[in-house]
Amino acid sequence: MTLSKSLTRRNVPSREGFCGYAQLGSLVRAGLAGTIASMAASRQSSSDSRSPGGLPFIDEHSIEVPASPAETWAALLRTFGGSANGLFTAYAKVIGVDPIDSEGPLDEVGSTRTGFRVIGVSAPGVLVLAGKHRFSEYSLEWTISETPGGRSRLGATTKARFPGIHGRAYKALVIDSGAHARITRRMLAAVARRAIRETRD
């Protein structure tokens, strides 16, 4: 089996943005941590505890996976079920990521990974994650639907708001730059590759 190239994207212009687990790690590797750390130092930590409900839509990406929904679901959990590396965790603390710890299995409501809390699960079709930091409140919804021939379509939908001047600056780094879209597509492809590999084993 080969990995399908049918990546699709739906994007609606927004004044808000998103930066979650992989996006923050990418910014660190790109050498932008210093910029954001300076912004963090100039602002107190937010105590906003609002629900992610009603967050503005950012974008949606999907990929066809030559594996069943159950196999794709298992690959999704194994791909993102681990803990964050030390570099990302340190960076997450600088910008006040909530939650910060990784606890519990990824397919259980209430479990956490650095930057995300599981707020919705319907195996093997839906996994909803949400989180926040000083510059953003966001959610990431993974969906898996069955397609003809025993295949699946894996989708990732981002919603977020980036309030204030610091939020807008952060948005420029992760949304307007195109980094978020590129990294989301890479995450989808990583899950698809894992599903293919594990189906062959």
26-61 pLDDT, tens per residue?
444 444 444 444 444 333 333 333 445 689 999 999
What token pair was written down for 68? 């069943």
Coil, strand or helix at 198 = helix
What token pair was written down for 133? 């930091």
Is pTM, for the whole model, over 0.85?
Answer: no
Which domains does the chain show, CATH number per domain? 8-43+53-200 (3.30.530.20)
pLDDT higher than threshold 70 for residue 62: yes
- What is the structure's pLDDT at 97? 96
- What is the structure's pLDDT at 2? 47
pLDDT digits (tens, 9 = 90+) for 103-143: 999 999 999 999 999 999 999 999 999 999 999 999 999 99
- What is the structure's pLDDT at 10? 58
Quick one: how far is CA 63 from the chain centroid? 15
- What is the structure's pLDDT at 86? 83
User: In angstroms, rounded to a whole number, what is the distance separating the alpha carbons of residues 1 and 152?
Assistant: 13
User: In angstroms, rounded to a whole number, what is the distance separating the alpha carbons of residues 90 and 194?
Assistant: 28
